[in-house]
Amino acid sequence: MAITRDMTIDTMFSTFPEKSQKLAQEMTNAGLHCVGCSAATYETLEMGMLGHGFTDEAITELLSRLNHILSEELDTTTISLTERAAKKFAQVAEAEGHASPALRFGLKPGGCNGFEYILDFAKESTPQDETFTSHGVEIYVDKEQVPQLMGCEIDFLDGLNGSGFKISNPNARSSCSCGNSQAY
């Protein structure tokens, strides 16, 4: 199944919940900042884009990028960094004087939707941690939080529509429109 012009935003996210965060990020990157707006969820993608002044060519280009996201393999057996995120993590660690750090990744209660992500430097794991390795970076996760975080991909985006580490979590069942918190 593919995303089409006549698919509503609500249908798109409910049909592909494991990819919804990446799809929403791609739509935001394209200039559609109403992804989290409940008034826009029953609009078709085409209606929403035309209503915001996008061209037919822009709609076709976005559809291509969205369907490419659907075709990407999802590895739900690990927690990983993209190569870009691993490089940025190493740069930030060096700039802040951390020698050979690992990444502490987890959840804490907060935000408007229940939980926020934790990204921090760690020197060593604890007995309560499960360790993942991605692009040479060790990732420590509290074993109790692994079920909510398994399959997460941590990326780094740098652009006009926001810079920073972005997490795509196939286990999140809802997230706030700003993308800072999620529920399971």
Q: Tell me whether residue 42 is in a domain.
A: yes
pTM confidence score: 0.75
Quick one: 91 and 62 in the same domain?
A: no
CA separation for the pair 18, 46 (Å, rounded): 22
Per-residue pLDDT, 21: 80
Per-residue pLDDT, 133: 97
The total number of structural domains that make up the chain: 2
Calculate the CA dihedral of residues 32, 38, 41, 42 and round it to 10 degrees.
Answer: -130
Quick one: 88 and 177 in the same domain?
A: yes
Residue 130 is part of which domain span? 80-183
- Residue ending a domain, choose from 26, 46, 71: 71
Quick one: angle between helices 20-29 and 56-71, nearest 10? Answer: 150
- Residue ending a domain, choose from 20, 37, 71: 71
Per-residue pLDDT, 175: 56
Q: Tell me whether residue 26 is in a domain.
A: yes
Per-residue pLDDT, 160: 64
Quick one: 99 and 58 in the same domain?
A: no
Specify the DSSP class assigned to residue 117.
Answer: E
Quick one: 87 and 173 in the same domain?
A: yes
CA separation for the pair 97, 84 (Å, rounded): 20
Per-residue pLDDT, 172: 78
Quick one: 28 and 112 in the same domain?
A: no
Quick one: 94 and 170 in the same domain?
A: yes
Q: Tell me whether residue 2 is in a domain.
A: no
Quick one: 90 and 178 in the same domain?
A: yes
Burial tier of 95 (Cβ tally within 10 Å: 0-12, 13-18, 19+): exposed
- Residue ending a domain, choose from 71, 94, 125: 71
Per-residue pLDDT of the chain (184 residues; tens, 9 = 90+): 899 999 998 888 888 888 888 888 888 888 886 655 555 677 889 998 998 899 999 999 999 999 999 998 888 899 999 999 999 999 999 999 998 889 999 998 876 657 889 999 999 999 999 999 999 999 999 999 999 999 999 999 886 666 889 898 888 765 544 455 454 4
CATH number for the domain spanning 156: value is: 2.60.300.12
Specify the DSSP class assigned to residue 107.
Answer: E
Q: Tell me whether residue 40 is in a domain.
A: yes
